Amino acid sequence: MSGSKKTMTPKDAALEALAYFRRHANPENAEKLQRYFKDPVDSYGVDYGPFKEWKADFHERLKTHWTLQEALEFCELMLEDKYMESRGTGYQVVGVFVGEAGPDLLVKIKKWLEGYCGNWGLVDNLAPYVLSPLLKKHPGLVDEVKDWTDSPNQWVRRGAAVGLVSLVGDPQFQDAAYEVATRLQGDKEDLIHKAVGWLLREAGKVDAERLETYLLDQGPRTPRTTLRYAIEKFPKEDRKRIMAATK
């Protein structure tokens, strides 16, 4: 239509996003961010405040004329850039449209966890924005996600736990959350211990008695890091008692 605004293609959107990141790159911020990660991470170090504003406007513009298909094409383009801001933005744009997704999106999510995360920050971006709403829409997928706990890839295993964090208040996901926690009890990775602790802490907000019973039953099998995270919201005396009882 004459005079109508031209639709932004996924390639155009990727070019805009990458230009923004490169224009606002801040090596000092990137160095500070590295302190939160054990292994090296690639980051542009963009200032979060302005980035958040830019991202909100960016999402709003895309929502008016894109579908999930364009969002997926955009995400794949952004994953080609190794930096956290690029990949995280790709995941979050998919999250804007995840309400349109069918169960088959789970295959892509697992592929992204396996090949395009590489640190806890990106897992904790992908799982809440994309995996959690997909599971809420298609709860039957949770059985497949529970099996991710057997993956040799630690980011897939972490995704299984983090993906349930925001859902554990829903009764249909509570049993799954405890099953994932139990399956990951013997994990060797500290980042998995923390993720499981986070999941259990949220479960405890819903039913503190069930969490306490679970922790006492698991006893010393529960890593101490997991335990500390899990009981963080308990009263001090209860924390001391549970820590002592599970040695």
Average pLDDT over residues 213-240: 96
Copy the structure tokens of residue 143.
Answer: 């059985």
pLDDT in tens, 122-162: 999 999 999 999 999 999 999 999 999 999 999 999 999 99
CA torsion sign for 183, 185, 189, 191 is: positive
DSSP 131: I
Does residue 214 register a pLDDT over 80? Answer: yes
pTM: 0.94
**pLDDT cut 70: percent of the chain above it:** 98
- Could you give the CA distance from residue 68 to residue 74 in angstroms, rounded to a whole number? 10
Count other C-beta atoms under 10 Å from residue 212's C-beta. Answer: 18
Residue 211 class from Cβ within 10 Å (0-12 exposed, 13-18 middle, 19+ buried)?
buried
> What per-residue confidence (pLDDT) applies to 2?
38
Q: Are 160 and 176 in contact (CB under 8 A)?
A: no
In 3D space, the residue among 79, 77, 24, 27 whose CA is nearest the CA of residue 48 turns out to be 24
Averaged confidence pLDDT in the chain: 96
Does residue 4 register a pLDDT over 70? Answer: no
DSSP 65: T
User: For the chain, first and last CA: distance in Å?
Assistant: 71
Does residue 3 register a pLDDT over 60? Answer: no
> What per-residue confidence (pLDDT) applies to 1?
35
Residue 27 class from Cβ within 10 Å (0-12 exposed, 13-18 middle, 19+ buried)?
exposed
